[in-house]
Every structure is written in C-alpha cells, then in structure tokens.
Structure 1
Amino acid sequence: MSMNELKIPRVEPTYPFEAYTHIVEPLSEEDGGGYVITFPDLPGCMSDGETIDEAIANGRDAFSAWVSARVHQGKPIPKPTKHGEAAEPVRLMQRLPRSLHANLVARAKAEGTSLNTLVTMLLAEGLGRREHHA
C-alpha cells in the first residue's frame, strides 16, 4: 500500500445490492468493449466487465466499496428508488418470431450470458435511449 492509499473497512450496507436499480450497457469498441454497470441512485458508483455477468459481479464489488467509502466519509447512503410498485422481479411472457428468438439465443451464447439477462439488458438499454430522446 502506498502512502496515498487508505484502507477503508468494509461496511455492511443497509439495503442489499439487489434493492438498487443498476443499468448494464455495452461499451463501444473505442471505449474498450465489454459492458459498464451504473447505479442511478449512487452517484459515481460504476464498474465494467467483458461480459454482462462479469460487469454485474464487478458491480457488486463496486457497490460494496462505494457504500464503505461513503460511510467512512460520514456521508449518507441514499435509499433505493422504488419504480412503481414492483420492487421484486416480475415474469414477462412475450411471443417472438422464431428467427428473433434464435438471434437472441445466439447472441446470449456469444456474450456468455443467459437469454434472460440479455433480454433484460436490451430492454433497459432501449428504454434508456427512448427516455433520453424524449
């Protein structure tokens, strides 16, 4: 550890990682590729990874470090924002053309993630783009 590094004790967060909205988006090739994960409720808390699953795993570590640093600084930890009444995951059933399903399955396999995670990421990304342009 260098003289400029500070050892901050790990703090157990009041709310778990899963309680906070996190957004996983692809990074452009010029930004190094892979995926970035951000937390709208936690300013500056972010991480990345080569795959969606790796970005989420790294996001868990970033979340824990972010909470510990905030507590160390004496700053409050924001409560998770509730979006509507659905704080728990919900099941969505959607009919798809076979060709679209096949493309999604192939892309999920190529990216090393589950079909469910890929579809969730694509929906969140599309919604984010639409909200940004609205």
Structure 2
Amino acid sequence: MKLVYPALFTPFEDGSGGYTVEFPDLPGCVTEGEDMAEALFMAEDAASGWVLTELEDGNPVPHASLIQDVTAEPGQFVSLVALDMDAYAAKYGSNAVKKTLTIPAWLNTFVEQNGISCSKVLQEALGKMAQARQ
C-alpha cells in the first residue's frame, strides 16, 4: 500500500538548518532532522510507524488532506511525504495473525512442487485488494 501525506516543515529557531516535521492528518506524529535530508527521512519513518500502529490496532488509515488545504505560517512550508507501507510493515511490523487456509488438493500439489508460500501469496493479494479500496 502506497500513501502520501502532506507534512508541515518548520525550520529550527536557532538557524542551524534543521526542521521539525508535523503531519496534520496524523495526530501527534512529529519528528525532526538536523538538515533537510534527515528531516525527510525521519518524516517518512515517523509517518510510516504511525500508520502501521493504526493498522495493527485495527483502525482505518486516515485520509490525506490536499496539500493546498494545509496552511503554513511564515517561514514554514508544506511538502508531500510518500509512504511504502508494504515495505515498512515487512521490515518493522510485529503483529501477525495465524489463519487456516483450505485449498483443493491439486492446487496444494502445485504449491508444494513449485515452492510457493501460500502465506506470502495471500498477503500480497490481500494487500492489493486493500490498496484498491483506498
């Protein structure tokens, strides 16, 4: 699942080149970086972690505001931050739920002969279905 959220970047008051980053659509999701590159990296990581926690808790993914609807104060700016939730969840996701799968015997033979992981195929298919409904 790919998501994009607007983020509000506020320069550090000391003029050091760092930024605080907030996500208006993700309450309490705030991070910072010592420069623009680190701020962007930290923003993607913080927002991905926030969304993953919501998904693992069974909550819906918040809808993203339009970038033009996010108001920046003087000195601030708004930028879009892209999230790859599939990659993030594969790396950091902790909650797994065991499901029992029933398939025809001939299909099970095919799966075993070809070294296919039913769990992986099901996860990928369900992920695509979830993304299509967003």
TM-score (norm 2): 0.46
- More RCO (CA 8 Å, sep 6+): 2
Higher CA-based Rg: 2
The structure with the greater share of residues assigned to strand is 2
TM-score (norm 1): 0.46
